[in-house]
Amino acid sequence: MTLPHLGCTKADLDTPSLCVDLDALEANIAAMSDACREHGIDWRPHSKCHKSPLLAKKLIAAGAIGVTCAKLGEAEVMAQGGVNDTLIANLIVGPKKVARLVDLRRIADPVVCVDHLDQALAFSTAMSAAGLSLRVIAEVDIGLGRVGVAAGGPAVELARQIHELPGLTLAGIMGYEGHLLTMEDGDEKAAAILAALKVLTDTADQIRQAGLPCGIVSCGGTGSFKYSVGAPGITEMQAGGGMFMDAFYRYGCNISDWKYALTVLTTIVSRPAPDRAIIDAGRKTMDGWVHKPLVCGRDDIHVKSLSAEHGTLTLDPSAQDLKIGDRLEIIPGYSDLTCVLHDNFLAFRGDKLEAIWPLEGRGRLQ
């Protein structure tokens, strides 16, 4: 695919194209960064939604201390792009990955998670053999029921084991309140999130009372950001996807704080019926599974369904003049699962292409 030239307009693009509105993105980034600063915590935004070292550097310039990554391969891409302070919020298992982690540690300073002594032992053996030291945090299950050591005593015991192992530095703990993101906004959601995070911060206190260090207490997602950011005892915030916003965050997680910054530019390729139009963007171009996409600026056009390469729109009477060749911008259902389908972000200032950010970590699933 030939890349469009900087300075071109959206009308010059072929479709489908993944577009970023820089003014909206920068406003969202500033809002998230400012909120973290106001609450005296560090922002380490999750980069799973963008996987781009160039965008990571923009986040760091706006106040982030580094980024969170979902995979070792993403952290490698970040390090190669000059972003060294990464938190790999996932469990790294197996000799091949541990060997790569040693190589990563030679050029960067990642923080990795464990929820069992076995993961920590493998890191310790490899790091001490290489004469290196690796920052490790214990992941605690605060109700999500995914990974994580149990809070309280078992987490303190794991922290002690990490602390005593050669080649490892106990850096703290993390938990993810991902089971609470989609609650109705309001007091109940606030109380549930604060209660889950209290489990994490109480565990941090117990670790410290045991005479162990616990500098990092990390949590947070876009769907819980506004409550988690002010939770007492939290030191780091992982929420990242809010920089793009999308239909899932808006209507699934009931977040109205940020602007839509990510769109897919599409073309109407067929008008088979007065109330139906087909766009050239289906499931291989954008997510419609986590949440239905929205049509930008048109509440009279609705995404009915997505098949692999077609998107089916339902048109209200006021939209039935739409014709083949017309273009629409679509707000993805879920930005995270949309971005990974594309090679590049095309970043626009108004209608002018200002930057192209390759998704260099795309496909780095190992």
Ligand X SMILES: Cc1ncc(COP(=O)(O)O)c(C=O)c1O
Residue whose C-alpha is closest to residue 336's, from 25, 43, 27, 47? 47
Distance CA 258, CA 220 (A): 16
Site track 110-149 with ligand X (rule: CB under 6 A), x = hit: ----------------------------------------
Smallest separation, CB 176 to ligand X (Å): 4
For position 288 contacting ligand X by CB under 6 A, the verdict is: no
Quote the least distance from Cβ 240 to ligand X, whole Å: 4
**What residue type is assigned to position 22 of the chain?**
L
Q: Does 43 bind ligand X (CB under 6 A)?
A: no
**Interface with ligand X includes 46 (CB under 6 A)?**
yes
Question: Which residue from 340, 304, 337, 331 is spatially nearest to 247, judged by alpha carbons?
Answer: 331
Interface with ligand X, residue 333, by CB under 6 A: no
Among 43, 123, 176, 260, which residue interacts with ligand X (rule: CB under 6 A)?
176
Check: CB of residue 318 under 8 Å from CB of residue 300. yes
Residue 361 lies near ligand X (rule: CB under 6 A): no
Q: Output 4-7 pairs: Cβ under 8 A, ≥24 positions apart.
A: 4/346, 4/353, 4/356, 5/353, 6/353, 6/354, 6/355, 6/356, 7/352, 7/353
Taking CB under 6 A as the binding criterion, the range among 238-246, 270-278, 312-320, 321-329 that sits at the site for ligand X is 238-246
Closer residue to ligand X (CB): 89 or 295: 89
Give the one residue of 66, 73, 167, 240 binding ligand X; rule: CB under 6 A.
240
- Taking CB under 6 A as the criterion, the residue among 16, 53, 143, 241 binding ligand X is 241
Is 68 in a helix, a strand, or coil? strand
Minimum CB separation from ligand X for residue 191, in Å? 20
Per CB under 6 A, does 172 bind ligand X?
no
Minimal CB distance residue for ligand X: 241
Nearer to ligand X, 30 or 273 (CB): 30
Sign of the four-CA dihedral 127, 201, 244, 223: positive
The 3-state DSSP class for residue 89 equals: strand
Least distance from C-beta 221 to ligand X, angstroms? 3
Contact 257, 24 (CB under 8 A): no
Pick the piece of the chain touching ligand X (CB under 6 A) from 101-109, 187-195, 237-245, 265-273.
237-245
Q: Which of 217, 239, 313, 346 binds ligand X (CB under 6 A)?
A: 239
From CA 266, how far away is CA 279, in angstroms rounded?
6
Q: What distance, in Å, lies between the first and last C-alpha atoms of the chain?
A: 26
The single residue among 89, 171, 207, 330 that binds ligand X, judged by CB under 6 A, is 89
Residue 193-222 contact track with ligand X, rule CB under 6 A, x = bound: ----------------------------xx
C-alpha 289/C-alpha 20 separation (Å) is 21
CB of 14 to ligand X, least distance (A): 29
Neighbours of 313 (CB within 10 A): 24
- Cα-based distances in Å from 6 to 137, 272, 341, 356: 42, 36, 22, 8
| Interstrand relation of 111-114 and 86-91 (parallel, antiparallel or unpaired) | parallel
Contact 80, 106 (CB under 8 A): no
- Taking the least distance from each CB to ligand X, the nearer of 10 and 48 is 48
> Does residue 263 belong to the site contacting ligand X (CB under 6 A)?
no
**183 lies in the site for ligand X, by CB under 6 A:** no
Is position 64 an interface residue for ligand X (rule: CB under 6 A)?
no
Binding site for ligand X (CB under 6 A): 46, 49, 89, 176, 178, 221-222, 238-241
